[in-house]
Amino acid sequence: MENQAAERKKIVFSGIQPSGQITLGNYLGAVRNWKQLQEEYNCIYSIVNMHAITVRQDPAELKKRTLEAYALILACGIDPEKSIAFIQSHVKEHAEINWVLACYTQFGELSRMTQFKDKSQKNPDNINAGLFTYPVLMAGDILLYQTDLVPVGIDQKQHLELARDIAIRFNGQRGNTFVVPDGYIPKAGAKIMSLADPTKKMSKSDPNPRGCVYILDPPETIIKKFKSAVTDSDMEVCYREGKDGINNLMTIYSCVTGKTYEEIEEEFKGKGYGDFKLAVGTAVAEHLAPIREKYNALMADKAYLEKCYTEGAEKASRIARRTLEKVYKKVGFLPK
- What digits encode the pLDDT tens for the residues 82-139? 999 999 999 999 999 999 999 999 999 998 888 777 777 777 788 889 989 999 999 9
Q: Residue 334: in which H helix or E strand, if any? A: none
What one-character DSSP code corresponds to residue 86? E
pTM value is 0.89
* pLDDT of amino acid 120: 76
Query: β-strand 11-16 against 42-47: which pairing, if any?
Result: parallel
What share of the chain in percent tops pLDDT 90?
76
Q: Is domain 209-295 given the CATH code 1.10.240.10 in the classification?
A: yes
* pLDDT of amino acid 21: 82
Choose the catalytic residue: 35, 82, 201, 330: 201
Quickly state the pLDDT bin for 187 (edges 50, 70, 90): low
Do 51 and 62 meet the contact criterion of CB atoms below 8 Å apart?
A: no
CA distance 179 to 15: 18
Q: Per 3-state DSSP, what percentage of the chain is helix, strand, and coil (rounded to 5)?
A: 60, 10, 35
Query: Which distant-in-sequence residues (6+ apart) come within 8 Å of 200 by Cβ?
Result: 193, 194, 206, 211
Quickly state the pLDDT bin for 2 (edges 50, 70, 90): very low
CATH of domain 2-189+301-331: 3.40.50.620
- Would you call 204 a catalytic residue per the annotation? yes
* pLDDT of amino acid 139: 97
Q: Residue 56: in which H helix or E strand, if any? A: none
* pLDDT of amino acid 116: 79
- Would you call 92 a catalytic residue per the annotation? no
| 44 beta partners | 13, 84
Q: Which pairs with CB-CB distance under 8 Å and at least 24 residues apart come from 251-257? A: 251/190, 251/191, 251/192, 252/24, 252/28, 252/190, 252/192, 252/280, 252/284, 253/279, 253/280, 253/283, 254/190, 255/28, 255/190, 256/28, 256/283, 256/284, 256/286, 256/287, 257/283
* pLDDT of amino acid 5: 47
Each residue's pLDDT tens digit, 270-319: 898 999 999 999 999 999 999 999 999 999 999 999 999 999 999 999 99
Do 208 and 194 meet the contact criterion of CB atoms below 8 Å apart?
A: yes
- Interhelix angle 59-75/302-331, rounded to 10 degrees, is 100
CA distance 246 to 198: 9
* pLDDT of amino acid 114: 81
What share of the chain in percent tops pLDDT 70?
96
Grouping H, G, I as helix, E, B as strand and the rest as coil, residue 218 is coil
Choose the catalytic residue: 92, 191, 204, 329: 204
* pLDDT of amino acid 186: 67
Do 192 and 25 meet the contact criterion of CB atoms below 8 Å apart?
A: yes
Q: Where are the domains of the chain?
A: 2-189+301-331, 209-295
CB-facing half-sphere around the CA of 4: CA atoms within 13 A: 1
Q: What's the average model confidence in pLDDT over 185-213? A: 86
Quickly state the pLDDT bin for 1 (edges 50, 70, 90): very low
- Would you call 330 a catalytic residue per the annotation? no
Quickly state the pLDDT bin for 188 (edges 50, 70, 90): low
